[in-house]
Amino acid sequence: MKKLLAVSFSFMFFGLVGCASKGKVSPAEQVKMTVLETIPRGDQPKWVTSGKEYYAEDSKMFYVAVAEGFGNLEASRRASFAAAQTKVAEQIKNTIGVEFGRSLETGMYEDTTGGYLKDVFMSNVNKISVSGIAVESTYTEKIHEQKGNDSRVYYRTYSLVSIPEATYKNLVKKAFDDTSAQVSQNKSAKELLNEAEKRFYNTIDTTK
């Protein structure tokens, strides 16, 4: 199957820099964060510390997502999973589109035919509903943030989610099937689609 682009769900923290001319940060603008509690207890798991936002293993594709800023634990967990669902779906659609575009690049065809075919194909891809995303594990940090005299406590939740490789393959097949049905009366587009599908699955030599 095609290699999926890594999905980025990380949030970065930046201290606001004051006194720019001297390169200093004023005490009122300094931000200090302390982890008060972790759920479950213990250090961050390897799937968090590895820095990998995506990896494939055991016929599954795994993604790491994170959400923060919520004062409620369950809200933080729900937001983390929701972010994962949205980003994974978007990334899968983007990947299918990119790979389809590459499969067209090596073919000999009129630009109008290729443009029409890609528009129809991507329209079908964007209609796809991605399901089967499952939470494999979560890790939550309860954080105390101090900025000058202001302070707040919130949760940061990491979610490890997965989707079966078979699901991705089924989504690709549906996109090709739907496109094939729509361009069936256009001989040039139909032939190009068949050729592109073979290239997509690496069943022909794309160097020719």
Residue 107 pLDDT: 61
What secondary structure letter does DSSP report for 37? Answer: E
Alpha-carbon distance 123 to 145, whole Å?
Answer: 45
Domain residue limits, the chain: 27-200
Tens digit of each residue's pLDDT, the chain (208 residues):
433 333 333 333 334 344 444 566 666 678 899 999 999 999 999 999 998 888 889 999 888 888 988 999 999 999 999 888 887 888 888 888 888 888 887 666 677 888 899 999 999 999 988 888 899 999 999 999 998 888 999 999 999 999 998 988 898 999 999 999 999 999 989 989 998 898 888 754 434 4
Q: Are 97 and 104 in contact (CB under 8 A)?
A: no
List 143's β-bridge partners, or say none.
35, 154
**The pair of three-digit structure tokens given for residue 137, joined into one six-digit string:** 């594990």
The three-state (H, E, C) secondary structure of 78-108, written as one string? HHHHHHHHHHHHHHHHHHHHHHHHHHHHCCC
